[in-house]
């Protein structure tokens, strides 16, 4: 098989890979996208669903949010339940008008694939990249079932523990935290839509309810770290959700459980998102717990910024463009981690707290909840960070003339 070549090889067709591929293609950059899953598997994978204001505005500006805006729902309030009190946080008002969009990740992925294909792009589905090495000039060579793929740049958009990160000298590792609890994740059929995100701070552990579609809701239950999903029969899950979330009255009732799993709760940020001609975006560079609904949003923001940085670099006029990308997005990743960690701290009681001290800890949390729900600097700060107020900082994407194919030979990846 003779090696293929491209300008930018993208590993993974999740939100990060698809947004990047789309923007580069529009700029005239030759791209090759490899995705491990089949198209049907990818378009079925239900994960996120709560999108930030600034991310949707950005996608809308790129013409990539038509269906999202037509079918998605806007949410500007969440509820936090603690000691029987249900506090409404009107973050839309507190942030000065920024609200979330609720639209399932798999629908966004389907729309992005359709838009990329409508522009003439193709994705190699069911085609994992097995490894990434480098030729003698430091250019990446990707190993796929279809043979070698040579590229000017390779971008890892393939989630945590990816093959592009594995080719960094430090494997793109960085500071990480394993939280002392896990979350049981549940996708359940519901009899009416979830009107607002609800978080329950409870003596027996956190519980959460998030909107997805009219008849499907996303639910979370705090469970001990290392818990196995088999410990949780459907009746136990439904009972615990109802009790901790205080479900009743006009609330949705979780019925059939469509998917259950246990999410190991971790935060992680790579020390580097760039090593020479290797780049990372999205979960490949950082993973954040779902507490603040930030993972998909960060992935899209990375991709939007990287598209501008890559075109600036390919145009040859800006040698610092890719380092600028790394700097901006690592700073953003830490802001996101700090926000999500602060929210987790509010939503969980300290590990190992004796039962007789739980009410005290809950009462302290209720004070904090009331403060973020009230007009003032703390409320405004939480609301703006939660809704993703303002605009994405993304370098403009320039049009790039087609470069010559890279020369072949073999060696280690060298930093550029």
Per the DSSP assignment, residues forming a β-bridge with 8 are 31, 153
C-alpha 407/C-alpha 317 separation (Å) is 22
Stretch of residues binding ligand RFL (CB under 6 A), selected from 28-36, 88-96, 145-153, 344-352: 28-36
Which listed residue (12, 208, 211, 252) binds ligand RFL by CB under 6 A? Answer: 12
The number of residues that bind ligand RFL (CB under 6 A) is 35
Least separation in angstroms between CB 342 and ligand RFL:
17
Residue 245 contacts ligand RFL per CB under 6 A = no
In the bound state with ligand RFL, the residue whose beta carbon lies nearer, of 110 and 371, is 110
Stretch of residues binding ligand RFL (CB under 6 A), selected from 15-23, 65-73, 192-200, 371-379: 15-23
Stretch of residues binding ligand RFL (CB under 6 A), selected from 151-159, 314-322, 353-361, 404-412: 151-159
Per the DSSP assignment, residues forming a β-bridge with 155 are 10, 279
Q: Are strands 207-213 and 197-201 parallel, antiparallel or unpaired?
A: antiparallel
Which listed residue (283, 313, 326, 385) binds ligand RFL by CB under 6 A? Answer: 283
Positions 160 through 179 that interact with ligand RFL (CB under 6 A): 162-163
Least separation in angstroms between CB 361 and ligand RFL:
26
In the bound state with ligand RFL, the residue whose beta carbon lies nearer, of 129 and 347, is 129
Which listed residue (36, 238, 274, 275) binds ligand RFL by CB under 6 A? Answer: 36
In the bound state with ligand RFL, the residue whose beta carbon lies nearer, of 283 and 398, is 283
Stretch of residues binding ligand RFL (CB under 6 A), selected from 8-16, 173-181, 244-252, 308-316: 8-16
Least separation in angstroms between CB 292 and ligand RFL:
8
In the bound state with ligand RFL, the residue whose beta carbon lies nearer, of 53 and 294, is 294
- Joined together, the tokens standing for residue 356 give 């007789």
Stretch of residues binding ligand RFL (CB under 6 A), selected from 48-56, 63-71, 77-85, 169-177: 48-56
Write out the chain in H/E/C secondary structure: CCCEEEEEEEECCCHHHHHHHHHHHHCCCCEEEECCCCHHHHHHCCCCCEECHHHHHHHHHCCCCHHHHHHCEEECCEEEEECCEEEEECHHHHCCCCCEEECCHHHHHHHHHHHHHHCCCCEECCCCEEEEEECCCCCEEEEECCEEEEEEEEEECCCCCCHHHHCCCCCCCCCEEEEEEEEEEEEEEECCCCCCEEEEECCCCCEEEEEEECCEEEEEEEEECCCCHHHCCHHHHHHHHHHHHCCCCCCCCEEEEEEEEEEEEEEEECCCCEECCEEECHHHCEECCHHHCCHHHHHHHHHHHHHHHHHHHHCCCCCCHHHHHHHHHHHHHHHHHHHHHHHHHHHCCCCCCCHHHHHHHHHHHHHHHHHHHCCCHHHHHHHHHHHCCCCCCCCCCCCCCCCCCCCCCCECCCCC
Which listed residue (104, 208, 211, 295) binds ligand RFL by CB under 6 A? Answer: 295
Least separation in angstroms between CB 128 and ligand RFL:
4
Stretch of residues binding ligand RFL (CB under 6 A), selected from 33-41, 310-318, 390-398, 407-415: 33-41
Residue 76 contacts ligand RFL per CB under 6 A = no
Angle between helices 15-26 and 105-118 (to 10 degrees): 20
Stretch of residues binding ligand RFL (CB under 6 A), selected from 58-66, 199-207, 282-290, 392-400: 282-290
Least separation in angstroms between CB 279 and ligand RFL:
13
Positions 83 through 122 that interact with ligand RFL (CB under 6 A): 105
Q: Which residue ranges make up the site for ligand RFL (CB under 6 A)?
A: 11-17, 34-37, 42, 47-50, 105, 128-129, 157-159, 162-163, 185, 263, 282-283, 290, 293-297, 299
């Amino acid at each position: 098989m003779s090696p293929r070549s491209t300008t930018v090889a993208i590993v993974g067709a999740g939100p990060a890979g698809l947004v990047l591929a789309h923007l580069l293609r529009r700029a005239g950059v030759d791209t090759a996208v490899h995705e491990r899953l089949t198209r049907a598997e990818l378009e079925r994978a239900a994960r996120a669903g709560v999108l930030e204001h600034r991310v949707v505005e950005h996608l809308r500006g790129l013409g990539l949010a038509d269906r999202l805006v037509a079918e998605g729902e806007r949410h500007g309030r969440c509820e936090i339940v603690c000691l029987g009190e249900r506090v409404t946080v009107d973050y839309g008002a507190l942030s000065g008008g920024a609200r979330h969009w609720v639209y399932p990740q798999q629908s966004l992925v389907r729309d992005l694939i359709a838009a990329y294909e409508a522009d003439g792009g193709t994705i190699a589905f069911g085609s994992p990249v097995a490894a990434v090495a480098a030729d003698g000039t430091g250019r990446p060579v990707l190993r796929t079932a279809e043979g070698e793929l040579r590229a000017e740049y390779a971008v890892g958009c393939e989630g945590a523990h990816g093959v592009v990160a594995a080719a960094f000298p430090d494997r793109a590792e960085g500071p990480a935290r394993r939280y002392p609890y896990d979350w049981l994740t549940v996708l359940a059929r519901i009899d009416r839509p979830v009107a607002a995100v609800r978080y329950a701070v409870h003596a027996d552990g956190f519980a959460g309810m998030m909107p997805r579609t009219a008849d499907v809701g996303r639910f979370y239950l705090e469970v001990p770290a290392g818990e196995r999903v088999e410990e949780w029969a459907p009746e136990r899950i439904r009972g615990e959700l109802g009790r901790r979330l205080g479900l009743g009255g006009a609330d949705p009732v979780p019925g059939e459980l469509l998917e259950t799993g246990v999410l190991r709760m971790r935060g992680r940020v790579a020390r580097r998102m760039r090593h020479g001609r290797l780049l990372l975006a999205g979960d490949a560079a950082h993973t954040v717990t779902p507490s603040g609904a930030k993972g998909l949003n960060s992935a899209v923001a990375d991709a939007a910024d990287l598209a501008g940085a890559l075109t600036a670099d390919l145009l040859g006029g800006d040698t610092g463009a890719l380092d600028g990308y790394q700097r901006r997005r690592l700073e953003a990743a830490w802001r996101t981690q700090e926000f999500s960690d602060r929210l987790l701290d509010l939503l969980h009681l300290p590990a190992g707290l004796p039962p007789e001290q739980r009410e005290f800890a809950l009462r302290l949390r209720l004070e904090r909840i009331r403060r973020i729900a009230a007009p003032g600097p703390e409320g405004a700060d939480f609301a703006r960070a939660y809704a993703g107020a303002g605009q994405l900082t993304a370098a403009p994407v320039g049009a790039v003339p087609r470069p010559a194919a890279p020369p072949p030979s073999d060696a280690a990846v060298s930093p550029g």
